Copies of this chain bind each other. A is one copy, B any other.
């Protein structure tokens, strides 16, 4: 199981590769919440989401032989860009299986970063089978999007930075809200946060219909969402918690929250208007939980992770427009 030592090792590997994203204050948000709110905008990260942290941490540990054979991954788009960018930096060929309805910018950027993209139908195809076939044919390594100790350790550098930045600012964080798909960012960050900020409460935030981690935490065992589940948060559509990620999250987290797609749209409008940040739907769920009052921040110091900003300009404009009526 991933420990703080592995997260700190990952931070050393990532020095000069990933961006140490800032911890931002927003007075408008603090006024609404009635407490201190710090934002960790991973939309400002290289490739527009936190995913390069885990991908690079894993891929930089491959042997020369493995690196030469390349890697294969499947992803809705953010892990794809992280893997492609890490591949370019490390000179490792990358192939990524992506849903054909992924945001255009995610498909285009993955290719621009040098990734070979293979598309499939999100609702009928089996991306894992496609990827495993390619990997077997080429002798390539699979780079999982969350359920791997090196991925968890890499994403955990988000939590490590939050702890360091809170200390630098002289602020004691009471709670941290983390956008949650398969649970890699949450698990790694929880490892770092509980090691560095003992007593901090960590909450996952998911889309209402993809609340598998929240329900799994409540039941104490992994459960999945129904096949018919839908959300605008294309980055958070993993139906079940990972085995490794859930084992960590089960031990370090108390509960999980969820928000509606309309809550997410409102959070994206807030981010445009008051934060001046471009946040994608999946990156806005934690902010949405704060704005809707699903979590109480009054008199407390809350850290809110904005996990990504990769959204097409058309979708972005439509979401902004939908709020003006």
- A positions within 8 Å CB-CB of B: 19, 22, 24-25, 27, 41, 43-44, 46, 48, 105, 269, 272-279, 309, 313-314, 316-317, 320-321, 324
Bound complex: CA A276 to CA B306 (Å): 12
The answer for the CA separation of A274 and B19 in the assembled complex, in Å, is: 13
Chain A interface helix/strand/loop/mixed: helix
* Contact among B27, B317, B320 with A321 in the assembled complex (CB-CB below 8 Å): B317
Among B19, B274, B275, contact of A25 (Cβ-Cβ < 8 Å)? B19
Cα distance A274–B48 in the bound complex, in angstroms: 7
Q: Which residue of B lies closest to A85 (CB)?
A: B27
Min CB–CB distance A255 → chain B (angstroms)? 30
B residues less than 8 Å from A279 (CB atoms): 276
Nearest 3 pairs between A and B by C-beta? A276-B309, A317-B317, A22-B22
How far apart are A169's CB and chain B's nearest CB, in angstroms?
10
Docked complex Cα distance between A309 and B272 (Å): 9
6 contacts between A and B (CB under 8 A): A41-B276, A269-B313, A276-B278, A313-B321, A317-B317, A317-B320
**A313 neighbours in B (Cβ, 8 Å):** 269, 272-273, 317, 320-321, 324
Select A276's contact among B273, B277, B314, beta carbons within 8 Å.
B277
Q: Which residues of B contact A275 (CB under 8 A)?
A: 44
Bound Cα distance A41, B41 (Å): 13
Contact B276–A43 (Cβ < 8 Å) = yes
A225 to B302, CA, bound (A): 49
Bound Cα distance A269, B316 (Å): 13
Question: Chain B residues near A25 (CB, 8 Å)?
Answer: 19
Decide if B273 touches A44 in the complex (CB within 8 Å). Answer: no
Residues on B with beta carbons closer than 8 Å to the beta carbon of A44: 24, 275-277
Measured CA separation A275–B309 after assembly (Å): 9
The interface residues of chain B lying within 8 Å CB-to-CB of A316 are 272, 317, 320
How many angstroms from the CA of A276 to the CA of B25 in the assembled complex?
Answer: 17
User: What are the residues of chain B within 8 A of A269 when measuring CB–CB?
Assistant: 313
Q: Bound state CA distance, A324 and B278, in angstroms?
A: 18
**Best-surrounded residue of A22, A314, A321 (most CB of chain B within 10 A):** A22
Tell me if B278 and A105 are in contact (CB < 8 A). Answer: no
Alpha-carbon distance between A239 and B278 when the two chains are bound, in angstroms: 32
Task: Give Cα A314 to B43, complex, Å.
Answer: 22
> With the chains together, A22 CA to B317 CA distance in Å?
27
A313 to B274, CA, bound (A): 12
User: What 17 new A-B contacts, CB under 8 Å, besides A43-B276, A313-B317?
Assistant: A19-B24, A44-B276, A48-B274, A269-B313, A272-B316, A276-B277, A276-B278, A276-B279, A276-B309, A277-B277, A278-B278, A313-B321, A313-B324, A314-B321, A317-B317, A317-B320, A317-B321
Chain B residue contacts of A278, Cβ below 8 A? 272, 276-278
A165 to chain B, nearest CB (A): 11
Shortest A205–chain B CB gap in Å is: 19
